[in-house]
Amino acid sequence: MEGLNTLQEAIIHFADYDDCHALMVQLRWPDGKVKCPRCGAEKVTYLAKTRVWKCYAGHQKPTFSLKTGTLFEESPLGLDKWLPALWLIVNCKNGISSCELARDLGVTQKTAWFMAHRLRYALKDGGFDLFSGEVEADETFIGGKARNMHVAKRQRRITGTGGKDKTAVMGILQRGGKVRTVVVPDRRKKALQAEVVKHVEAGSALYTDALLSYDGLASNYAHKVIDHAVQYVDGRLHTNGLEKFLVAVEARDQRNVCERRAVSLVPLLG
């Protein structure tokens, strides 16, 4: 977006689809080789009439667009709206409200609010791309320990053992990069594999534990499993990086619970 000094210049520039195309290709495929975001294949053909690429790897969804695999995917808004919105958020030093964004782009306030949240999340996360290379995936349960709860609260909230009455959280770590966490409804195959597909580029090396919910990912990833009942590390095969992060998250959650309990006792001790 260099050289675009005003909003008027940004809107005029991104009104041309060719300019949007050039920027997105540069951001997504810096080496200039367009790859299928679903399988990583390079054997693709651009269909100019429909503005999509066709992959010849033989999977169920052979076509993909500039928005496939990004935060823009499944949005009815075109890049001529998304990219000026990105320009505004990046260049407004004092921030920009959804109302102002709506006026500048000619969309409703609700649409502008949705766009701003998506873009800010992507900028906070460090980019629009899927994780690639060596990726670790694991899950845990977050929730206060029974021994730290008041007896009345414990009886009301703790109705089982293990992960029952706790929140399931999945983590995905790109080695040498960032980590993402997301709340999932459960540890079943449908929930966990959906998050893997959403955040990890096809063809990446994926390392998980022996949980059966990860079975079936080998068709799209170089999936390897480390069985913790046997060993925790086998050369490059381990999930220790992500496990350390999740342990830190759990410890912080427990510390926050204890701190809230201590604060609630201050009036009684005074």
pLDDT over 70 percentage in the chain? 83
Instruction: Between 144 and 139, name the one with better pLDDT.
Output: 139
Helix axes 98-105, 79-91, angle to 10 degrees: 130
Q: Which residues of 17-46 are buried (b: 16+ CB within 10 A; e: fewer)?
A: eebbeebbeeebeeeeebbbbbbbbeebee
Q: How far is 267 from 25, CA to CA, in rounded Å?
A: 60
Asked if residue 52 is part of any domain, the answer here is no
The verdict on 86 and 138 lying in the same domain is no
pLDDT band at 93 (very low <50, low <70, confident <90, very high): confident
Residue 128, by phi and psi: left (phi above 0), alpha (psi -120 to 50) or beta? Answer: alpha
Residue 16 confidence class, pLDDT cut points 50, 70, 90:
very high
Examine the domain organization and report whether 143 and 201 are in the same domain.
yes
> Are residue 115 and residue 210 in the same domain, yes or no?
no
Residues 113 and 217 in one domain: no
- pLDDT of 165 above 80: no
79, amino acid identity: L
Q: Supply the pLDDT for residue 200.
A: 93
Within a domain: 144 = yes
What's the domain range around 116? Answer: 7-32+70-125
Task: Indicate whether 145 and 237 sit together in one domain.
Answer: yes
Is the pLDDT assigned to residue 267 strictly greater than 80? no
Of 81, 97, 125, the residue at which a domain comes to its end is 125
- pLDDT of residue 221 exceeding 90: yes
83 and 19 inside one domain: yes
Residues 118 and 140 in one domain: no
* Pair 120, 157 in one domain: no
Say what the pLDDT of residue 163 is: 58
Percent of the chain with pLDDT over 90: 54
Kind of pairing, strands 44-47 and 205-209? unpaired
- The closest alpha carbon to 62, from 81, 79, 39, belongs to 39
Residue 257 pLDDT level (bands cut at 50, 70, 90)? very low
State mean pLDDT over 106-114.
94
| Mean pLDDT computed over every residue of the chain | 84
Q: What is the mean pLDDT of residues 206-229?
A: 94
264 has pLDDT over 70: no
Binning pLDDT at 50, 70 and 90, where does residue 166 land?
Answer: confident
